[in-house]
Structure formats: C-alpha cells, structure tokens
C-alpha cells in the first residue's frame, strides 16, 4: 500500500473515497492518518503538519510520522511538498521529482538511532525505482510541466530565506527550497521504507523576483501545482 504525506496546502486529500481517520500511537507520539481509496486502490494519507494543520516544519514529529507508516505496513512513501524555486528557470506550479537533498536544518529530532552505533547509507536519498515509476507517470500527462530531477535544499524555517541564502543554495547546486524533506527522508531510510518526493513550486525563492514573498500569493499559487501532483498520484495508482 502507498502512503502519501501531505504538506502545505495538502492537509486534506479531497479526492479520496471511503475515508476513515484514525490515530496511530507510536513510541514517539500519536499520529493522525486517513485511510481511503483512489481509483479503487487503498492508500494511507498522513498530513505532516497535523489535523488540523498546526505543526511548523521544525516542530513536526517526523519520527512519529515515519513510525506510524511502518506500523501501518505501507510499502512506499510519497512525500508531497510545496517549495520555492532556486533555479530561476522554474515557474509557479511546475513539478519537481528531486533526486538529491542538501540538509540545512538544525536541532530537529533526526534519527531513530540514539544509542545504537549505525550509519545508514543515504547516497541516493530517494528510492530510485519508485522515482523512475513516478517520472514515467508524470511524463505521460499532457498538462504537467516540470523537471524530473533536482536538488531539494531543506532549510530550517519557519521564516523564508534571505536573498543571499537563496544565492548560496543556488551555488551549492540546489534546484528548489523547502523545509520538510529532512529529516523525513533519512528517517524513512532508517526504517527501510522506499521514499520519493514530488514538489510543486509555489513561489520564486527570495530575491529571484523584486517583490517580497507574501503568504497570500503562496496560497493563491497552491491549487494548480497540487492538482498536477494529484494527477501524477492517480496515474501512478492506475499503473500499479
């Protein structure tokens, strides 16, 4: 079964049918999840900012979220994230299926290995096979534009970046900027859960355009990109 983790603007998966909400208890805390169906396939939906949304990116209980998905026996995790562009050629509502991450976060509970001496491999943080299947689905869709690789720069937030920080991210090789890919991706790997991401652009990164980044504009920009993400999820479920 697929699990979809929803982020900003994706607190409800309104296209799901036969939804049942429940709370999964883990050693790290309780997690609200929904189980439902899309195109006749069962899936788990986990709104990472909570239900209703209230946890800022640095306060999300990433360990509890990943552990809850393990408890539900999901086979794959698709992480949906609203992001800013770092590559100036990207437009609002473009999709990105990143293949790499640079972690700029700090102070987050970021591992299940508190006492055990283990170093997991994270050379490729996103599951190669799962990514390839998602890319195949995205490529078939007519009205979906974007890039099928890229580096997700994960910042601490909750504030947005300075213009100089976005320039630094660009020089570091980042394509997009968001606040939630880490430690989520690493924790999924620690639990051996195949994890891939689809990001959709909701604003140009700080300093790329002249205007300041307003939350109202981000909210207005959410719908088209998210609609495209749901199309990719639908195509993936139909093909699997």
Q: How many residues bind ligand HPA (CB under 6 A)?
A: 12
Region of 92-100, 105-113, 124-132, 197-205 interacting with ligand HPA (CB under 6 A):
197-205
Q: Residue 6 interacts with ligand HPA (CB under 6 A)?
A: no
Among 61, 65, 175, 203, binds ligand HPA (CB under 6 A): 203
Question: Which string of x and - marks every residue 80-119 that binds ligand HPA (by CB under 6 A)?
Answer: --xxx-----------------------------------
Partner residues linked to 43 by β-bridges = 2, 36
Cβ pair 235, 118 in contact under 8 A: no
Q: DSSP secondary structure string, 28-83?
A: TEEEEEEEEEETTEEEEEEETTTTTT---GGG--HHHHHHHHHHTT-SEEEEEEEE
Among 70, 177, 187, 196, binds ligand HPA (CB under 6 A): 177
Among 205, 221, 231, 232, binds ligand HPA (CB under 6 A): 205
164 DSSP assignment: H
The residue (of 67 and 161) whose beta carbon lies closer to ligand HPA is 161
- Residue of minimal Cβ distance to ligand HPA: 84
Q: Which residues contact 158 (CB under 8 A, 6 or more apart)?
A: 56, 57, 58, 179
Other Cβ atoms less than 10 A from the Cβ of 2: the count is: 19
Among 46, 60, 179, 232, binds ligand HPA (CB under 6 A): 179
Q: Using CB under 6 A as the criterion, which residues of the chain lie in contact with ligand HPA when the complex forms?
A: 82-84, 155, 160-161, 177-179, 202-203, 205
């Amino acid at each position: 079964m697929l699990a979809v983790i929803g982020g900003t603007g994706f607190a409800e998966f309104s296209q799901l049918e036969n939804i049942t909400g429940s709370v999964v208890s883990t050693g790290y805390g309780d997690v609200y999840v929904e189980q439902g169906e899309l195109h006749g396939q069962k899936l788990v939906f986990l709104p990472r900012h909570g239900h209703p949304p209230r946890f800022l990116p640095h306060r999300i209980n990433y360990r509890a979220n990943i552990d809850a998905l393990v408890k539900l026996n999901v086979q794959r995790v698709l992480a949906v994230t609203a992001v800013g562009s770092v590559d100036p050629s990207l437009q609002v509502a473009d999709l990105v299926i990143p293949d790499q991450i640079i972690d700029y976060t700090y102070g987050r509970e970021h591992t299940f290995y508190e006492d055990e001496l283990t170093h997991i491999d994270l050379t490729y943080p996103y599951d190669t096979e799962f990514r390839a299947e998602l890319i195949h689905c995205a490529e078939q869709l007519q009205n979906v534009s974007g890039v099928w690789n890229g580096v997700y720069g994960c910042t601490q937030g909750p504030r947005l970046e300075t213009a100089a920080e976005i320039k630094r991210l660009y020089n570091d090789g980042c394509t997009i900027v968001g606040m939630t890919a880490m430690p989520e991706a690493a924790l999924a790997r620690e639990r051996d859960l195949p994890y891939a991401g689809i990001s959709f652009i909701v604003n140009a990164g700080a300093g790329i355009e002249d205007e300041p980044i307003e939350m109202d504009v981000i909210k207005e920009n959410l719908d088209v990109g998210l609609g495209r993400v749901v199309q990719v999820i639908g195509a993936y479920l139909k093909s699997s």
